[in-house]
Amino acid sequence: MSSSRRLFLKQTTVAGSAAIAMGAGLLTPQALLAEWNEAAFKEKDVDAAIKAMTGSASSEESDKIHIKAPDIAENGGVVPVSVTSDIEGATDILILAPNNPVPMVAAFALGEGAETFARTNIKMGKTGDVVAVVKAGDKTYTAKKAVKVTIGGCGG
Amino acid sequence: MAKSSIKLRAKVKDDVVEVKALIKHPMESGNRKDKKTGEKIPPHYITEVVCEHGGKTRLTASLSGGVSKNPYVSFKFKGGASGDPITMSWKDNKGESDTVEAKIK
């Protein structure tokens, strides 16, 4: 993660996010705010959320990303998603659900020696795609998979 | 805390360590409403999970309210050996946190 990107994010998000956090009584420790990309997790637009998280404006679809998720999820509250990729030099894996109130679900920053693999369970409000993004160098690659949700997991 | 909120398992297979973790956490997104009162349930979710091994950060996962309750996180890395200690910690949006240490099998 380059320092310029960090700086850019700080400049653009700190003012707004701090005010929101204080207003909601959610002021978190400074270290946490610096790490957790609040802008990306608040963004409603998928492309903008990816950009906020990776700093990369353009992304291309890739068949080298493999998403494992059920075709039909009986319970939208728990949808197991795993992402693997053959892309060399991957540094980040993002998982998004574009039809959720907040598309950005999880972001995995791969550390030293980490394989390009991440698995977690996500919530899906309704039927839609699961989008996986892999960042390698300055480039981002995306892939998606449709998941049919029979009972939503967001909202009550 | 008597019992850790994190169940951490790490296993070596063919030079690759597979880490699996199950964290006990409500992961409220803030979009849900209390069915009785009709009021919104405030958000309460894990924002960051960090896994360290051998003095190196192996994974930093940023989560949100879109991750399921009692989140499961799994990843793999190279460079670990059986018996090595591995630690995982999380922080949530309310500033709560927990850390656990396990040994790689």
Is residue B49 a contact partner of residue B61, using CB atoms and an 8 Å limit?
yes
**Structural domain of residue A110, as residue ranges?**
58-149
Residue A100 has its nearest CB partner, among B57, B66, B95, at B66
Separation of alpha carbons A51 and B100, rounded Å: 33
Assigned domain for A39 exists:
no
Contact: A120, B94; criterion CB under 8 Å: no
Calculate how close chain A gets to B3, using CA atoms only, in Å: 23
Assigned domain for A43 exists:
no
Give the model's confidence band at A5: pLDDT under 50 very low, under 70 low, under 90 confident, else very high.
low
Assigned domain for A73 exists:
yes
pLDDT of residue A6: 62
**Structural domain of residue B89, as residue ranges?**
6-103
Is the CB of residue B77 less than 8 Å away from at least one CB of chain A?
yes
Q: Which of B61, B77, B100, B103 is nearest to B18 (CA)?
A: B77
pLDDT tens-digit readout, A103-155: 999 999 999 899 999 999 999 988 999 999 999 888 899 999 999 988 755 55
Assigned domain for A33 exists:
no
pLDDT of residue B4: 82
Separation of alpha carbons A120 and A108, rounded Å: 10
Query: What residues of chain A lie within 8 A of the CB of B76, using their CB?
Result: 114-115, 117
Task: Tell me the one-letter amino acid at A117.
Answer: F
Assigned domain for B17 exists:
yes
Interface subset of B 14-53, CB within 8 angstroms of A: 16, 29, 31-35, 42-43, 47-48, 51
**How many domains does chain A fold into?**
1
pLDDT tens-digit readout, B20-57: 999 999 998 888 887 788 888 888 999 999 999 999 99
Per DSSP, which regions of A5-153 are E strands?
59-61, 65-68, 72-73, 79-85, 90-96, 104-110, 114-122, 128-136, 139-149
Mean pLDDT score across all residues of chain A: 79
Assigned domain for A142 exists:
yes
Assigned domain for A63 exists:
yes
pLDDT tens-digit readout, B49-84: 999 999 999 999 999 888 999 999 999 999 989 999
CATH of the domain at B61: 2.60.40.10
Q: Count Cα atoms within 13 angstroms, Cβ side, for B33.
A: 6
Assigned domain for A137 exists:
yes
**How many domains does chain B fold into?**
1
CATH of the domain at A70: 2.60.40.2470
The CA distances from residue A25 to A22, A28, A102, B42, B94, in Å, are 5, 9, 20, 10, 9
pLDDT of residue A143: 93
pLDDT of residue A49: 86
Q: Which of A24, A128, A111, A120 is nearest to A71 (CA)?
A: A128
Assigned domain for B1 exists:
no
Chain A residue with CA closest to B36: the answer is A156
pLDDT of residue A156: 43
Is residue B104 a contact partner of residue B9, using CB atoms and an 8 Å limit?
no
Assigned domain for A53 exists:
no
The number of residues making up chain A comes to 156
Is the CB of residue B61 less than 8 Å away from at least one CB of chain A?
yes
Give the predicted TM-score (pTM) of the model.
0.80
Assigned domain for B14 exists:
yes
